[in-house]
Amino acid sequence: MSLLPYEKNNGKGIYIHIPFCVRKCRYCDFLSFGASQETKSSYVDALLKEIAAREFPGRKGKVSSIFFGGGTPTVLGAEPLIRILEAVMKREEVCPDAEITLECNPGTADGLVFSELRAAGFNRLSIGLQSANEEELKKLGRIHTWDDYLRCVHEARRAGFENINTDLIYSLPGQTIVSWRDTLHKVIDTGMEHVSAYSLIIEEGTPFWDLYHEDDLARAEGRASRFLPDEETERQMDREALEILGAAGFNRYEISNFSQPGKESVHNTGTWLRRDYLGFGLGAASLAAEGTVRMKNTDRMERYLAGEWEDETCREVLSEEDRMAETMFLGLRLKEGVSREYFCSIYKKDPEEIYPGPLKTYSDKELLDCSGGRIRLTQEGRALSNLVMASFLP
């Protein structure tokens, strides 16, 4: 099997972290928080300085994707975001057709803001909906309603955005198969090009941990839970996403991501293929020097504003063994899995030489399909993906 288009794209990615939110959601453990206008302005100034001056190991290379994540980047407004994008363009050689994505939440940008952003070069939006059910949105602590989301999509379309993702979460407290189906159908009806659907993970340090941690343990152990859907219901919700989105023309190209033809996320596929990406901003991560060096920025605002960007304790030089393992378990997230040709082009060895045990074990169990020059999870393998992927770790 020949290489897929995204496997031939060698451009690197740029990630920009904007840590500010209107209000932190009850399930969220990302590096995000509310802040004063003064703090936001100081942060943008510091970010611009980092973009202009920061050095990374390895060669330059063209940029094929830029991703503004958070937090909620659109809380800054159009002008600061455009200044940041212009700074990246000045620093790097950006491909003319580069994917430039901006995360936003309904209610944090209007038609004028979207028009200014589109004119400046942003060409993809990722909208955080999570659910179309009003009660589920309230439980999550979201700041918006379903109608707010519809207005957001309408105004983005009028501004010229033709590539939009919607983020969804399933296995929510009190959620049913019926309400999940309803969310999927409603989102499809808005004409999305891309849908990301993740199962809820109860993270320590969040309000949901205090509310549902014991219930989450009960669910994991197969005991009755009071609030969260049980494990079989969660798996059924995953199957419903595959069936309903598939019937609407979406391809599940990655475990949690579905796209219309040709609308796969360039930035995310680059990450799963271990292409270099440079992270700017508070807590941002980077993979540099042809995938051999992993780095992370400080998550302390006072240090970042002072120009002390990198957290030196988080810099790691990766061995070839580490890199090969990551290529396998990240690549297996993709529907088409790991290309033997792609693997050999990087490491000059076939995966069969490095991982004969796991490949045979999970092929015999019909959890891996190793035909056609690729190594991919089967349908049964996707249900046990963590187990299979872990077998490639050093």
In total, how many domains does the chain have? 2
Domain membership flag for residue 315 = no
Same domain membership, residue 327 and residue 242: no
Q: Residue 366 pLDDT more than 90?
A: yes
pLDDT at position 338: 96
Same domain membership, residue 347 and residue 224: no
What's at 241, amino acid-wise? A
Q: What is the mean pLDDT of residues 348-371?
A: 96
pLDDT at position 218: 78
CA dihedral 374, 377, 379, 381 (to 10 degrees): 150
Q: Residue 248 pLDDT more than 60?
A: yes
Domain membership flag for residue 104 = yes
Query: What are the pLDDT digits (tens) for 157-199?
Result: 999 999 999 999 999 999 999 999 999 999 999 999 999 999 9
Q: What's the pLDDT band for 226 if we cut at 50, 70, 90? A: confident
**195 secondary structure, DSSP code:** E
Same domain membership, residue 350 and residue 235: no
Q: What's the pLDDT band for 365 if we cut at 50, 70, 90? A: very high
Q: Residue 146 pLDDT more than 80?
A: yes
- Please give the Cα distance from 238 to 231 (Å, whole number): 11
The helix/strand/coil state of 393 is coil
Domain membership flag for residue 300 = no
Same domain membership, residue 340 and residue 261: no
- Please give the Cα distance from 220 to 239 (Å, whole number): 19
β-partners of residue 368 are 377
Supply the mean pLDDT for the chain. 95
Domain membership flag for residue 313 = no
**Which run of H or E residues covers position 257?**
strand 257-259
Residue 210 has a CB neighbour count (10 Å cut-off) of 12
Structure-token match 């496997």, residue found: 7
pTM of the model: 0.95
Same domain membership, residue 137 and residue 72: yes
Q: 247: burial class by Cβ within 10 Å (0-12, 13-18, 19+)?
A: exposed
Q: What is the CATH number of the domain that holds 253?
A: 3.20.20.70
Tell how strand 285-288 and strand 251-254 pair up.
unpaired
> Which of 272, 291, 306 represents a domain boundary (last residue)?
272
Domain membership flag for residue 245 = yes
Query: What are the pLDDT digits (tens) for 35-93?
Result: 999 999 999 999 999 999 999 999 888 999 999 999 999 999 999 999 999 999 999 99
Same domain membership, residue 327 and residue 245: no
Domain membership flag for residue 224 = yes
Domain membership flag for residue 195 = yes
Same domain membership, residue 23 and residue 166: yes
Same domain membership, residue 30 and residue 135: yes
pLDDT at position 2: 66
Q: Hey, CA dihedral for 295, 300, 304, 306, is it positive or negative?
A: negative
Residues of the chain with pLDDT > 70, as a percent, come to 99
Q: Residue 9 pLDDT more than 90?
A: no
Same domain membership, residue 382 and residue 266: no
368: containing domain: 320-394
Q: Residue 1 pLDDT more than 70?
A: no
Same domain membership, residue 233 and residue 91: yes
Query: What are the pLDDT digits (tens) for 272-322?
Result: 999 999 999 999 999 999 999 999 999 999 999 999 999 999 999 999 999
Same domain membership, residue 347 and residue 216: no
- Please give the Cα distance from 343 to 334 (Å, whole number): 14
Q: What is the CATH number of the domain that holds 332?
A: 1.10.10
Domain membership flag for residue 116 = yes
Same domain membership, residue 327 and residue 259: no
Cβ atoms of 324 and 292 within 8 Å: the answer is no
